[in-house]
């Protein structure tokens, strides 16, 4: 998993509330167990017509936001079914951070396990960030995980809270496997000791 330290990038405004996981990655794309390749189908039913043509009004189809790395969203982002494909699709598209007033619990947890930083902010702050994101590709937002600050393109800074363990994992690029590998010396010592004391195991 890639480390998340400081990100400066284009933020896409998505003021819709209750953006659920089926909107993020529709059910017909859940056949794969690979974490790559889903970005092209992110928000598929919102981005494309039934015959595969782009819908020009959708924010990620607009030239200013095709390279977005941050989404500023309405309330209750990631609700619905507990599919891990949703953060996979966001990450494969290039989204590393989502800012909202609230997230569905399972989606929120899955983001951290896949290298995406979900940030909860008060409604009045999200509105300021949403307005900044509406300025397009020239308005680059900075997300500083180490110092827990989001800074708008015009220099307004807003602190955010994050669990210290989750922060440690993102800063060091540690998913569940990576966390286990941090203990590899202890695991090897345990297995060597067990081989001596219980060779029949």
Give 120-181 as a 3 state SS string: ECCHHHHHHHHHHHCCCCCCEEEEECCCCEEECCCCCEEECCCCHHHHHHHHHCCCHHHHHH
What's the pLDDT score for residue 12? 98
Question: Could you give the CA distance from residue 79 to residue 95 in angstroms, rounded to a whole number?
Answer: 18
Structure tokens at 134: 């509406």
Instruction: Look up the pTM and report it.
Output: 0.89
Structure tokens at 149: 């600050």
Q: Is 36 helix (H, G, I), strand (E, B) or coil?
A: coil
What's the pLDDT score for residue 181? 61
For 15-82, strand residue ranges (E) read: 70-73
What's the pLDDT score for residue 2? 92
What's the pLDDT score for residue 135? 96
Question: Could you give the CA distance from residue 37 to residue 122 in angstroms, rounded to a whole number?
Answer: 33
Per-residue pLDDT of the chain (201 residues; tens, 9 = 90+): 999 999 999 999 999 999 999 999 999 998 888 888 999 999 999 999 999 999 999 999 999 999 999 999 999 999 998 889 999 999 999 999 999 999 999 999 999 999 999 999 999 999 999 999 999 988 899 999 999 999 999 999 999 999 999 999 999 999 766 666 666 677 767 776 777 788 776
Q: Which domains does the chain have, with CATH numbers?
A: 6-173 (3.20.19.10)
What's the pLDDT score for residue 184? 65
What's the pLDDT score for residue 138? 85
The alpha helices in 37-135, defined as continuous H runs, are: 44-47, 85-93, 105-113, 123-133
Which residues lie closer than 8 Å to 148 by C-beta, 6 or more apart?
159, 160, 161, 162, 167
């Amino acid at each position: 998993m890639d480390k998340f330290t400081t990100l400066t990038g284009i933020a896409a405004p998505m003021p819709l509330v209750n953006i659920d996981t089926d909107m993020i990655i529709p059910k017909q794309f859940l056949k794969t167990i690979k974490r790559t390749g889903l970005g092209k189908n992110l928000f598929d039913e919102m981005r494309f017509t039934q015959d595969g043509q782009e819908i020009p009004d959708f924010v990620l189809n607009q030239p200013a936001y095709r390279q977005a790395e941050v989404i500023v969203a309405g309330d209750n982002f990631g609700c619905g079914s507990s599919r891990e494909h949703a953060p996979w699709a966001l990450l494969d598209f290039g989204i590393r951070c989502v800012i909202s007033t609230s997230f569905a619990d399972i989606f929120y947890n899955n983001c951290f396990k896949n290298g995406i930083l979900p940030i909860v902010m008060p409604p009045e702050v999200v509105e300021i960030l949403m307005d900044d994101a509406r300025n397009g590709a020239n308005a680059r937002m900075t997300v500083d995980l180490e110092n827990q600050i989001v800074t708008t393109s015009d220099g307004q800074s807003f602190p955010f809270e994050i669990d210290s363990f989750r922060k440690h994992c993102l800063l060091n690029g540690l998913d569940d496997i990576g966390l286990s590998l941090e203990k590899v010396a202890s695991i090897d010592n345990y297995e060597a000791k067990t081989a001596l004391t219980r060779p029949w195991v």
